[in-house]
Structure formats: structure tokens, C-alpha cells
Structure 1
Amino acid sequence: MDRFSTERLIAERLNEGHLTDLVALHLDPDVSRYLGGVRSADVTKVYVATNMTHWDRHGFGLWALRTKDGAFAGRAGIRHIPVDGVDEIEIAYTFKRNHWGQGLASEIATALTDIGLSQLQLPSVIGLVSVEHVASRRVLEKAGYALEKHTAHHGEDVVIYRIRR
């Protein structure tokens, strides 16, 4: 599933051609506040390579997001992530600031959840969110995820939300 679309977004399998847009996204301190901080161009390049390898290994991963008019909006996806020593599969989404507050995160979270549970037949999917990231927590709750636990991840206080098939 290299491409899919929602009502307002087009998702394209992440590739090296998205690097410039992702570097700009990751350099924005407001966007990166809950992502572990601003990432340099070199770190983002490794990030893209790592996520392309994830696609090759698992058949799913991150997509670059564009609006229907072709403007880069952000990134989102489904990926393996170790949490408390367990291999979990999470949905993730990050948008440029000018796309905040428009319901796009809820739109993509719902689509990713459907892909994960229905198309990929995963038994469950998690959302891993900074305790302080209230907007992202609301997105997961609206998408039907239930708060499962608090934990630490890469030194951050986070909560895990889960939805099951």
C-alpha cells in the first residue's frame, strides 16, 4: 500500500524525495517539541533511511502527507517500536504548524487505525504520546483508543493508548 488518500490528504510511501520537506518539518521547534526535539538535516536523513528499511522489512511504514492541492502537510504511519521491552506497533502523525487545528490528525489517525486493524489484520495498535501533548491525546481518544498506561520512553514521560481489533 504505497499510496492512499483520505477526504483531504494524499499519503505517499516515504522515500528520499521527501527529505527536503521532512528536514524543514523536523527543524521547526514547535513541531518537534513532542518528538524529542529539533532534528538536524543529517539526523533526518538517517530517519528517512531507517523508515525506508522498515517498509522493506514489514511492508508498511511511514507516508509523506500532502493536501489535495499537492502541498506537503506532514508525515504519518504505522511502525514497529520497542516500548518497555515489547515490540509494539504504533500509529504516528506529525503535521506542519499551518495544518494544526483543522482535524487532519483525527482524519489520518482514523485512516491509519483502519489500515492497521482491518487491512494489515494487526491484533492491536498503540499511540505513544507525551503526557503533556493534550491535542494528540484527544486525537487518539476520538479515534477509539483507550488509555492503557503511563511509562517512560527515551527519557520522556509518556502515555500509551491502545485499540484492539
Structure 2
Amino acid sequence: MDQFTTTSLTAERLREDHLADLVALHLDPEVSRYIGGVRSAERTKAYLAVNMAHWDQHGFGLWALRTSDGTFAGRAGIRHILVDDVDEIEIAYAFKRSLWGQGLASEIATALTHVGLSQLKLPSLIGLVFVGNAASRRVLEKSNYVLERSTHRHGEDVVIYRARR
């Protein structure tokens, strides 16, 4: 499933030509505050390579997001991550700051959940959120994720929400 659309967004499988847009996204300190901090161009290039390899290995991963006029909006996806030594599959999303507050995160979270649980037939998905990220917590709750537990990841307090098939 290299591409899909929602009401407001087109998602396309992450490719090398998305690098410049991802670099700009990851250099914004407000956007990056809850996704591991600002990433240099070199770190974003490595991030892109890892996430393209995820597609090759698992058949799903991150998509670049575009608005209806074709403008880069952000990135979102479904990917394997290790949490407390357990292989989990998370949904993840990040949008350009100029697009915040328009309901796009809820729209993509609902779409990713449908893709993961209904189309890919995954048994469950998690949302891993910094404790202080109230906006993403609300997005997951609106998408029918249930708060499961708290943990620490990379030195930060996080909560795990889960949706099941």
C-alpha cells in the first residue's frame, strides 16, 4: 500500500526525494519537541534510510503527507519499534507547524489505525506519547486508543495507548 488518501491528505510511500521536506520538518524545534528533538540534515538522512528499509522489510512504514494542493504537510506511518524490550507496532505522525489545529492529526491517526488493523490485519497498534503532549494524547483518544501504561523511553516519561483489532 504505497499510497492512500484521506479527506484532506495524500500519503505516499517515503522516498529519497522527500529528504529536503523532512529536513525542514525536523529542523523546526516546535515540531520536533515531542519526536526526539531537532535532527540535523545528516540525522534526517539516516532516519530516511532506516524508514525506507523498514518498508522493504515489512511492507509498510512511513508515508510523506501532502495537502490537496500537493504541498508537503508532514509524515506519518506505521512502524515497528522496541519498547521495554518488546517489539511493538506504532502509529506516528508529525505535521508542519503551519498546519496544526486543523484536525489533520486526528484524520491521519484514524486512517493509519484503519490501515493497520483492517487492511494489514495487525493485532494491535500503539501510540507512544510524551507525557506532556496533551494534543497527541487527545488525538489517540479520539481515535479509540486506550491508555495502557506509562514507561520511560530515551530518558523521557511516555505513555502508551493501544488500539486492538
**Common fold: TM-score over 0.5:** yes
Q: Letter of the 2:79 partner, please give it.
A: R
Q: Letter of the 1:48 partner, please give it.
A: L
Question: Would you say 1:158 and 2:123 are equivalent positions?
Answer: no
Counterpart for residue 110 of structure 1: 110
Q: How many residues align?
A: 165
Cα displacement (A) at 1:36: 1.4
Cα displacement (A) at 1:35: 1.1
Q: Letter of the 1:40 partner, please give it.
A: S
Question: Would you say 1:67 and 2:57 are equivalent positions?
Answer: no
Counterpart for residue 21 of structure 1: 21
- Runs of 4+ off more than 3 Å: none
Counterpart for residue 58 of structure 1: 58
Q: Letter of the 2:160 partner, please give it.
A: I
Counterpart for residue 46 of structure 2: 46
Superposed CA deviations along residues 77-116 of structure 1, whole A, max 9, x for unmatched, are 0000000010000000000000100000000000000000
> Take 1:154 and 1:90, find their aligned partners in 2: how far apart are those partners?
16
> Take 1:114 and 1:158, find their aligned partners in 2: how far apart are those partners?
24
> Take 1:130 and 1:12, find their aligned partners in 2: how far apart are those partners?
27
> Take 1:35 and 1:61, find their aligned partners in 2: how far apart are those partners?
16
Cα displacement (A) at 1:125: 0.2
Identity of aligned residues (%): 76
Cα displacement (A) at 1:163: 0.6
CA RMSD after TM alignment = 0.3
SS of 2:78's partner is strand
> Take 2:155 and 2:66, find their aligned partners in 1: how far apart are those partners?
32
Superposed CA deviations along residues 105-164 of structure 1, whole A, max 9, x for unmatched, are 000000000000000000000000000000000000000000000000111100000010
Cα displacement (A) at 1:68: 0.7
SS of 2:34's partner is coil
Q: Could you tell me the TM-score, scaled by structure 2's length?
A: 1.00
Q: Could you tell me the TM-score, scaled by structure 1's length?
A: 1.00
Q: Letter of the 2:7 partner, please give it.
A: E
Superposed CA deviations along residues 12-51 of structure 1, whole A, max 9, x for unmatched, are 0001000000000000000000111100000000000000
SS of 1:46's partner is helix
Question: Would you say 1:2 and 2:18 are equivalent positions?
Answer: no
> Take 1:6 and 1:35, find their aligned partners in 2: how far apart are those partners?
23
Counterpart for residue 12 of structure 1: 12
Question: Would you say 1:100 and 2:100 are equivalent positions?
Answer: yes
SS of 1:70's partner is coil
